[in-house]
Structure 1
Amino acid sequence: MLDLTLFSAYLGAVITLIITPGPVVALVLKNTLKGQDSKTKSTQALKTICGTNLGSLLLIAVSIVVILGVAKVSESLLGIMSIVGCGFILYLGSSSLLGFFKQRKCGDSAQPCHIEPFHIECCHIERSEISHKSHQDSKPKGSQSEVPLENAVSGSEQARKANSLKSTKKTTQILHTPFLQGLLLSLSNPKDILFFIAFFPQFLGITHSIYLSITVLTLSWIALDFSLLLLISYISQKIQLKRFETLIAPLSDIVLIMVGIFGIVYGFLSLMP
């Protein structure tokens, strides 16, 4: 038999926690506004939310293991992991904010600008090739025998640079996929495990079985987390927040940066004796 009063209190607490503005809501809004059309926006939001939900589910799973007494959690280890996670949040916000300002700068200039490092470097390589070719054309005919060797060395260096830049670009693109952003952001604060350990036991009495109660609490959390974040994304599209993107995008990044800095400072302070 389900205790509806206690379960209602749990649902109310979860809804309040989820809709409270924070890094997860900021990331969902930011990735939603990145889309060029309705379909892209919905896809970006869905991928981000799936990532955050998976992260929450993993943290809840660890919390349940601790609640059932199967394992113990080390607060020192959680503190170190929290610092690393907050470092990722700081990187996520600062890199996105830097990209935003670069786009604004490119938009203000008359010439087209490409902010992707690989493309910039490729342009640089192409200019170098043109310059090198002009330099070769200006050489006396007697020195033309040196051209094949110089071209071979130059081509080898350019190929090495291009391969290195492709690898860097691929890694950066992977880190900036909406799903992985959501997952890493959700996992970036392992101290949420302590929150779940303290939060869930207050509502284990909703049924006569602890295992059934944990199952109901977990499924309810995931369902509410997914649906509410999806609703926030849907509302942001319907009220046409796109026109406020120049304000919302940097503000979301600033929220992430502040959370990252605060988390790092708090993490170091918590590790001190």
Structure 2
Amino acid sequence: MIGFDLNLLLLYIVTVTVMIALPGPVMILVVSAGLSGGPRRALSTIAGTNAASLLLIALSALMVQGLLAIDEAYFNGIKLLGALYIGYVGWGLLRAVPFEGRPQSGGGVGGFGKGFMVAIANPKDIIFFASFFPQFIGIMPQPALSLVVLTLLWVALDFATLMVMFQLVRRLLRPVLQRALLRCSGVLLIVVALVGVAFAGRALWTTSG
């Protein structure tokens, strides 16, 4: 029987669930997509965020094995572009939400592509997979098997947590409050983008100097 560290496994599950449930660009986008386009739109957006997560996990595994090293200036440049894209998504969300009636459905909010781009540019995910994720590689004696288990758990927890949060918001909030939440979400994404641009820009200025 293959042994595993149960305490480390439970810590990973709790940590990932809390991290996903905390408000951030990905959570905001998924809930907004679901409110404007329904559960199918939310699932499509989550699929995009999961695809980005799998790419970040692969990069993290290469970094742990010493097969990949990312230049700090290049990394900060990626974060800057990501912050700008998050701001673009926030602005698009504000434009898609009317002050009366239902939000516009369709391609304006969420979807696989937007989910992927927001997740790949999300500083929270980048930091987690680059630094915190490798701490759980010892969950099993074989690192490769640990990586498979951690990845499958991430996908399952990501889909489950994001869908639960969307369903809670949809069932607990009346339409008028849903519109208000969508507008607030757009503003919050823009604020997150501005903060991200400021930090990434300062980091780029420091490294270039």
**CA distance in structure 2 between the aligned counterparts of 1:82 and 1:191, rounded to whole angstroms:** 11
Give the total of aligned pairs: 201
Partner of 2:201: 268
Structure 2 gaps of 5+ residues are none
Q: Is the CA contact (8 Å cut-off) linking 1:47 and 1:178 kept in structure 2?
A: yes
Match of 1:257 among 185, 190, 208: 190
Is residue 92–residue 109 contact of structure 2 (8 Å, CA) maintained in 1? no
Following superposition, the deviation at residue 237 of structure 1 comes to 2.8
Give structure 1 stretches of 5+ with no counterpart: 36-40, 109-114, 116-172
User: Does the CA contact (< 8 Å) of 2:140 and 2:146 recur in 1?
Assistant: yes
1:180 aligns with 2:113: yes
Paired letter, 2:50: N
Identity of paired residues, percent?
34
Q: Which of these two proteins has the greater Rg computed from alpha carbons?
A: 1
Task: Report whether the alignment pairs 1:16 with 2:18.
Answer: yes
Partner of 1:43: 40
For the structure 1 residues 203 and 63, does the alpha-carbon distance in structure 2 shift closer, same or farther, using more than 3 Å as the test?
same
Paired position in structure 1 for 2:134: 201
Structural RMSD (CA): 2.2
Cα distance change, pair 15–191 in 1 and its aligned pair in 2 (3 A): closer
- Say whether the 8 Å CA contact 1:78–1:191 is kept in structure 2: no
1:219-252: CA deviation from partner (whole Å, max 9, x where unpaired): 1111111111111122223335434122111111
* CA pair 177-7 structure 1, distance change in 2 beyond 3 A: closer
Question: Per the alignment, in what secondary structure is the counterpart of residue 208 of structure 1?
Answer: coil
Matches of 2:13 and 2:107, distance apart in 1: 35
Distance 2:137 2:168 in 1: 33
1:88 to 85, 90, 103: 85
Deviates more, 1:3-12 or 1:229-238: 229-238
Distance 1:47 1:192 in 2: 19
Once residues 133 and 56 of structure 2 are traced to their aligned partners in structure 1, the CA distance between those partners, rounded to angstroms, is 12
**Which is bigger in relative contact order (C-alpha 8 A, separation at least 6)?**
1
TM-score (norm 1): 0.68
- For normalisation by structure 2, the TM-score amounts to 0.87
1:58 aligns with 2:55: yes
- Which deviations, in whole Å up to 9, do the C-alpha atoms of 1:116-157 show, x marking residues without a partner? xxxxxxxxxxxxxxxxxxxxxxxxxxxxxxxxxxxxxxxxxx
CA contact (8 A) 2:29 2:110 kept: no
Change (3 A) 1:267 1:244: same
